[in-house]
Amino acid sequence: MAAVSMTMGKLIAGIIIAILAASAISVGASTMLAAGPQGPEGSQGDTGTQGPQGETGEAGETGARGATGATGPQGSTGPTGSQGPTGATGATGATGPQGPEGPQGPQGEQGVGFEPTGSISVSAAAFVASDSTANWRCSGVDLYHLETGGVHFYGAVQLPDGATVTNVTFHWIDLGGLNVQCQLKRHNLTMTLNMASMMSSGDTGTGSSYDDTIDFATVDNIQNTYYFDVLIPSGSYYFRYAIIEYEYPA
C-alpha cells in the first residue's frame, strides 16, 4: 500500500514537471516570435487611377447667421430722374380770418356819362287833395279847386339818395289878391320839417317863385320821405309844376 502511494506521488510530480516544461517551451517560442525593430520606409509607389466620384451626401444644416458688417461709405448721388406726373389738387383749406382794413386808395376818375348835377320836375298830375270831399280839378297841366276856402294838396317827390338839393322853383297862376303857397318837406316818421318855402306874388297871372336857401338839403332816403305841400286858396289860383335842382358831392 505504501508502495502504491509512492508510485502515485511520482506520477503526479512527473505530470506537474511536464506541464511546467510545456509552459517554458511556450514562453520561449513566444519570445522568439516577437517583432524586431521597424526597418526604413520604402519609396512611395505610383499613384493609382482615381476611382469614380461617390454620391453627393445630404446637405448639412444652415449655420447661424454671422454678425452684420460695418456700413460702407455712401456712394455718389446719381443723376436726377425725370419729373413724375402732377398729383391731384387737394381740398381747399378753411378760410382764414379777415385781415385789417387797408388804407383808402385815391379817388378814381369821374366815369363817362356821370353828371354831378341834376333836376326833377313834379307836375300837377302828381297831386291829390288832403280833403277827400273837396271839389278839385286837375287838367294834367294845372291843379285847382272850386271850394271857397283853401285846400292842401300833396305830391310825392323821388330824390336821388345822397344828393344835395340846391334850389326849388314852382310855377303858378295867380288871379287874385291871395297867394298860392308851395313847400318842399321832409318827413322822418316822427316829425315833418320844411326844406324850402315859396308863394305866388300878386295877381299878375302866370309866374314862378324860387328858393335856394335849402334846409336839411342832403337826401337820405333810408331815414326820410319827401313831398310837396301846396295850399291853393280858392278857384282863382292854380299850381302848374315844380322843379327841384340838386348836385352830388365831389
Q: What is the pLDDT of residue 12?
A: 65
Q: Which residues pair with 241 in a beta bridge?
A: 123, 171
Lowest mean pLDDT among 66-80, 117-131, 220-234: 66-80
| 250 has a pLDDT exceeding 90 | no
The pLDDT of 183-187, averaged and rounded, is 98
246 — phi, psi (to 5°)? Answer: -150, 170
Q: What is the pLDDT of residue 228?
A: 98
Residue 147 — very low, low, confident or very high, per pLDDT cuts 50/70/90?
very high
The pLDDT of 42-62, averaged and rounded, is 76
The pLDDT of 225-243, averaged and rounded, is 96
| 37 has a pLDDT exceeding 90 | no
113-143 tens-digit pLDDT: 567 999 999 999 999 999 999 999 999 999 9
- For the chain, what is the HEC assignment? CHHHHHHHHHHHHHHHHHHHHHHHHHHHHHHHHCCCCCCCCCCCCCCCCCCCCCCCCCCCCCCCCCCCCCCCCCCCCCCCCCCCCCCCCCCCCCCCCCCCCCCCCCCCCCCCCCCCEEEEEEEHHHEEECCCCCCEEECCCCEEECCCCCEEEEEEECCCCCCEEEEEEEEEEECCCCCCEEEEEEECCCCEEEEEEEECCCCCEEEEEEECCCCCCECCCCCCEEEEEEEECCCCEEEEEEEEEEECCC
Q: What is the pLDDT of residue 19?
A: 63
Number of C-beta neighbours around residue 235 at 10 A: 17
Lowest mean pLDDT among 51-60, 157-166, 181-190, 216-225: 51-60
Cell of 25: 517551451
206 — phi, psi (to 5°)? Answer: -80, 135
Number of C-beta neighbours around residue 136 at 10 A: 17
Q: How far apart are CA 171 and CA 97, in angstroms?
A: 59
72-to-65, 68, 75, 170, 192 alpha-carbon distances in Å:
19, 11, 9, 106, 98
Q: What is the pLDDT of residue 67?
A: 85
Residue 14 — very low, low, confident or very high, per pLDDT cuts 50/70/90?
low
Q: What's the chain's average pLDDT?
A: 84
Q: Which residues pair with 228 in a beta bridge?
A: 155, 184
Q: What is the pLDDT of residue 10?
A: 67
